[in-house]
Amino acid sequence: MKKPIFYHAGCSVCVSAEHDIINLIGAENVEIVHLADDRNRIQDAEKAGVKSVPALVTPNGNVLHINFGASMEDVKK
């Protein structure tokens, strides 16, 4: 099965949500992508419909925007 992908950018809201998601679904069941470190994934995230981080893209393609850490515009700066 395709894994959900958790996109974040290292902000405190992102890190807190990352811990919560890992606790809820297990570290082995989610791919974590840090967009500030892995900037060539920014385009994938935008294509998936991610407008802000942290966000979780489910295996069926839905985007769950979780709280609000930073907009994608800020991530791209």
Query: Residue 62, interface with a copy of itself (CB under 8 A)?
Result: yes
HEC string for 30-42: CEEEECCCCHHHH
Query: Residue 24, interface with a copy of itself (CB under 8 A)?
Result: yes
* Span near a copy of itself by CB under 8 A; candidates 31-39, 42-50, 66-74: 66-74
Whose CA is closest to 17, among 52, 61, 60?
Answer: 52
Whose CA is closest to 14, among 72, 52, 53, 46?
Answer: 53
Query: Residue 10, interface with a copy of itself (CB under 8 A)?
Result: no
Residues in touch with a copy of itself (CB under 8 A): 4, 16-17, 20, 23-25, 29, 56, 58-60, 62-68
